Structure 1
């Protein structure tokens, strides 16, 4: 499945096992987890093109010119996008640059920060607007990303403003997205500004720190494999604990940023290696992005990772109260009494 880049469905775009997601937690009052278990999990009714159904196309004479997109940006926080012709239809992702940026060109593998308004090409309905909020971050290397957005951003200079028409095959595929009201044949229209782009680290980078006595030990297996985390022969601590294994030299992580990380999460297993319940290493080593410090992830992450630096490798021991609470997370086989342990490489924060 492909990621849903719209903020109104943000919970569907994130790796779910550290999210404060859908289930209630009686001990924290926060959500405890989501109903999916992969980083590409998204809302029902979305997905990549089905092998049994060809992507929707239109005759050349019915392809809509980009001049049919009208943008009123008098209110910079709420630009209005209208279509002089409906349905607006294209067969390939089409970009019209309205204003060239003056920054560096965005390259493959970077994380771009953008603002956009998006409308449905059939109905003309506005689906999302981020100009009045924090910008959205898009990992161009993420295979679950909309191909049309990658095409629209890659190679453009930071500061560029453009309109983009994305056909179904480069967006939700043949299923559309019922939750957003996007049909299987609907083109999506974006009015977009590229604000910044950063290159994530390949893994934590900096100065190694001597292991802290009494904490679990970590064997890092590289980005493409889950780390092995072994517990001391002792009961789990009752309070949230953390320690750096590598001190990075990058920028400090601030509340409200999107933190990109490589991580492995395990369940505390006294005197033994913990049972892995989630890891970016199990998904090809692609960094996962999370809003940090805004109650969108488990409390243990918010409390620990704000103030850390890009490049840090952080070991976090999370008791139930700072994890999923007394409800646990049944989909991940996490009980309400389980203590969790994470090793987190902070590779970017935007």
Structure 2
């Protein structure tokens, strides 16, 4: 490699990692001594000022820069943006929480430069010499279960397909971008499953460190996003994952709808149409907040003002579906005098497609 040419970009997706920025760059400087590299922080508009901390450091070190994303969130999409923003022939992904071993980067780069057929080098906690550090037995068991699930979609026998620490040829990523789902936190799994042909890989063992600054991003939503990513790879071409999520939440909303309708109509003897209207509004509110938290997590509305405006927008754009819901249910109940639950279900089904199409475009799509 010519000394003056950029060799490697290190992409660091961040959210509330201000305290780790300077330390991580200093460690990269030591680990990649003698190599031409750049660090690209991709920050999801962290409220703790992570992006500003990177800017302050970048004034002193031209190898450092930041992409501050406004209105967009998600580790996988952050990695994709960062990997497409460099001219370096090789790009690495490493977490900003100091838990990945940056000293392995030089070994990864050497491996890719030495073998033109090698396409990706993966930091593994589970191959010989690797370790999960201070993980408790519960987390180890969950990781093992997730790994077994991933083998249903993988085209390679990786020991650590859940790894977020790897290095790849940049050109390969650019070619794959249109086929990447960008869902969840497992960008490596996304890349390995999106490739039309199995990628040639090597694994480098490392010991997973304990976080010293900031807070872990692992939660139940992250676990759910992993399952969503697997679903997308297995069935997404048949039923788009977002519609599947929206429909699943709609099914829960239907349960709420039936519960409220049953109480008001059967127990309190409220007229069927009035009971249906109340049940529809309650179910719609339930669906809005759950979709905001899950289906549209990357575009979710935050703050009382945005939530209120979003709820109003959601109700307005779904008004056609809600009117159809009430109208169809009332018609079937009054004309056919059938089971009230079947009448309600018919109304819900008519509204479902309208709700998804209109809310995707006008409630969350405009932000």
TM-score by length of 1: 0.24
More strand as a share of residues: 1
TM-score, length of structure 2 as denominator length: 0.23
Greater share of residues in helix = 2
Which protein, 1 or 2, shows the higher relative CO under an 8 Å CA cutoff with sep ≥ 6? 1
Larger Rg over CA atoms: 2
